[in-house]
Structure 1
Amino acid sequence: MDLEFHQFDLRNEELRSRSPAQERRPFSSHAEVGHQAPIIVVSPALSERPVVIDGYKRVRLLRPLGQHTVRATAWALGAADALLLERMLRAGDADNALDLGWFLRELRERFGCSGEELSKRFGRMPSWVSRRLPLVAELPEAVQAHVRADTLGAHAAMKCLVTLARANRACGERLADAVAPLRLTTRQIAIVHAAWLGANAE
């Protein structure tokens, strides 16, 4: 089926970080040959708009091309089961721990999944879940926004900024705002982080 952009819900788009560099090549391909693979949606209720489960990147790529519709296929599943199935189907992708934290939080808060249920769904120990949820809870939203925009690496955010945000949330946000435009490597951010911790106010 074909859906217009206003007809579907992108509420799950923020569960994944973005990489503008990786999207340049697909954008060029879409411009040349058009939209190929359909996005995947589910319909939570007859009165609600279909919710996109997979295809956020394709939607972002198609908007600038002036297209008004996108081809979609609907899964006959509940939203929680559909999100889990989609995650399993792309299990080979390198999800970072922060992406997984966003995903686990969504399943817990929106769908009421317990920590035990989440661990069983992913075939993991409960400690695997408990290590990832705090990353989302403790890392300020302003810092997470940099990770989503691919201006700050998830590994650097977890290695350096989670501990800093625990001690001083405002300082964690200021440091993230300062280094994000520079697109530093994790090693470089660790050096800056260490210098920040050892410096005086001046």
Structure 2
Amino acid sequence: MRSITFNACGIFALAVAMTIANGKEPERISRDDCHATFLVPNGLEYVEVNGAQISGNNECYIAFRYTGDLKTKSRPNPPSTTDDWRWLTDFTLTVKGESLGDSLAQIKSTEGLERPGMFNLISSEHFQIPGGEVYVLRYLAAKPTKNMLRLNEVEETIFAAGNDSRSVSYIQYTGATMTKKDKNKAALYRSLFSSFNFKNSTTTP
């Protein structure tokens, strides 16, 4: 586990508290501010962010870095802004104080995933987890644009978990044929989202 702290001026210090070794049993993290717990699968390192500014209906941020073969080899120096901590992580999940249904509807609308002629739904999974449920939805661009091909974003997979009070989601962008690295990341996301345990939906923030 890593810890990132910063002051109001946006000056950051990265302190290493402990790292997750390959082969170690997944660590369960409890976040009261997220009203949830989750397991950190091998291949990911949980980064604790202290003092992040929360806005809107966001309840908390959950940050990670890749380890092993997926580890980022180099990282640019972060800018001096209040969002510097994001530069020190590989991806972040935002737990929102909105239902899973509303969150999915917003994602689909924003990304245009179900707009006629844009993307086709090629697979859909739905299963229950403690205190909530998970969706894994894969979409493939019907007519990929040059920009989609250039960015290797022909396929999009939505990983979403939550209940009728809060939700968390992530979109993985890949090419039409997933690379080994893409598949490894997808397996990590699936494992992570499947491990969420949400508190009772009647819990208030």
TM-score > 0.5 by shorter chain: no
* More helix by percentage: 1
